[in-house]
Amino acid sequence: MKEFGRYYTNLLNQFFATLLEFFRSIFSAIGKFFADGFGQMGKDFISVSSSFSIMDWLMAFAVLIANLVFFSILVYKVIKYLKKYVRFSKIEIEKENLIEEISSLNQKTIELIEEKNKILALKVSNLGINPDQEEFDVDSDNPEKNGKYANSRFVKLHQVDDAYHHEKVVSIMSEDHMINLKTMVNKFIDFSASKLNLYYDKKIISAFFSGLATSKTMILEGISGTGKTSLPYAMGKFFGNNASIIPVQPSWRDRAEMIGYLNEFTKKFNETDFLKAIYETTYRDDINIIVLDEMNLARVEYYFAELLSLLEMPDADQWLVDVVPDTKEGDPDHLFSGKILLPQNVWFVGTANKDDSTFLITDKVYDRAIPIEINSKSNFIDAPDTEGIKMSYEYLNQLFKMALHDNPISKHSTDRLEKLDNFITEKFKVTFGNRIMKQIKMFVPVYVACGGTEVEALDYMVARKILRKFESLNLPFMQEEIEELSKLMTKLFGKNEFVECQSYLTSIKRQF
């Protein structure tokens, strides 16, 4: 026992002595480096400088200044990149914390919804209460109150059938309403200002009509209170067919939340206002707009994914929205094999705020939609009293085809776009893609027909469809590439052109 104690004590003494010697040697080496190394350099310089001529001293001074500048720049660059790294790391940590917090909140939301469903199921089984009674406006205890809807599983859709007397409405246009796209843009601006006290910039309205020609899905995004919802509302008033505004709920997780589902307890279909809105479009041949208000309160790619894929199909006869597995006797007129054929005269317009209470809209949605950014209110317009117009989808579609024929994108612009695409692909690993190029070739001619220029349209699409993808890149480390991209745009399109893109790149550079 004593022998081991002596051994262990000696072992500890030896360990700490070795550790002390290790640190002493490190500090000794550092001291020797600065004292002996730099000291010897100083002695050598003094020894040699005794024979320096005036030119030698001038050269020595110049070299000293050059070395100081070089090392100063080196230190500055190192400090700059360290600051960027620290800032980038901080941002990434904050993102991870936010993602964890959002995930936690989503989980709590799911748990609350499940708890609510259990409570409703308990009420149904124990008390005979129909949780969807208000939604259907059906009184199960008083069949006479429901009339012919008592045994129907689709109450709202039958109401649409009755409202249109089971016959499709045919739009009869007057000669005064057969106008071109440029006149239509100006007429809408005057109509909104004089009738609704809503004021819009010509560029935004031109982009909106061009978006209608390019995609069946549009996204109006920007800060709150800038008139995103009022734009499609005003457009519905202008065409004499009110837009259907559907508030998106944070609990929407799949298509059933948006379209509805068959209630197994009541054997009734839980019809939503969205389902009623798309069903009503089957009775019309004019312009129909359905607004998904604050669409990014829930994850768009969850509840809207099926419709996004559906509207991508080139054959419009395949735009079939599944509602129920099959059709039964007494179902609505335009429900075929449990499906609704979505007509071509309907557009889906989503509004999206950019704040902490909303979800990020993914590339899958953005790539298929036409985004329009509205971040400021337009100034007052003293417009003459202007009436709306009555227009069929066929006439509007014909205007779009004429624009495509009369104003095809020029080869000069196509070549410039290709050079821009090659540069962005090489430097940022982001590319235009076939879908986006197809959209550009449709958007640009219609924008020109609305009174804009080809370069303005290209600028708008590149800023909204391509540069937006930069948000997922490590931008703090790509400042030189961004500066090169800005210079290339100036070289290709002109010094005072591509305003939207240049403004976006400037905002990126200011962040870092």
pLDDT of residue 245: 95
Q: 262 near 321, Cβ under 8 Å?
A: no
Residue/partner pairs of 22-29 with CB below 8 Å, 24 or more apart = none
Which residue type is seen at 240? G
pLDDT of residue 348: 97
- Residue 290: CB partners within 8 Å, gap ≥ 6? 243, 244, 246, 274, 277, 278, 281, 346, 347, 348, 349
Mark 233-263 as b/e (b = at least 16 C-beta within 10 Å). bbbbbbbebebbbbebeeebbebebbbbbeb
CA distance 80 to 234: 50
Q: 318 near 344, Cβ under 8 Å?
A: no
CA distance 469 to 431: 9
pLDDT of residue 38: 64
Averaged pLDDT score across all residues of the chain: 85
151: its two tokens: 């045994």
Mark 444-460 as b/e (b = at least 16 C-beta within 10 Å). bbbbbbbbbebbbbbbb
User: DSSP E strands: which ranges in 259-395?
Assistant: 260-262, 269-271, 288-293, 320-322, 339-341, 346-353, 370-373
pLDDT of residue 91: 73
pLDDT of residue 216: 96
pLDDT tens-place string over residues 32-59: 766 666 666 777 777 777 777 788 778 8
pLDDT of residue 128: 43
Write out residues in the chain with pLDDT < 70, as ranges: 1-2, 4, 7-8, 33-40, 92, 95, 99, 102-103, 106, 109-150, 512
pLDDT of residue 150: 63
CA distance 187 to 201: 13
pLDDT of residue 433: 85
Q: 52 near 60, Cβ under 8 Å?
A: yes
pLDDT of residue 307: 93
Alpha helices in 38-175, H assignment, sequence order = 39-49, 54-127, 133-136, 143-146, 155-163
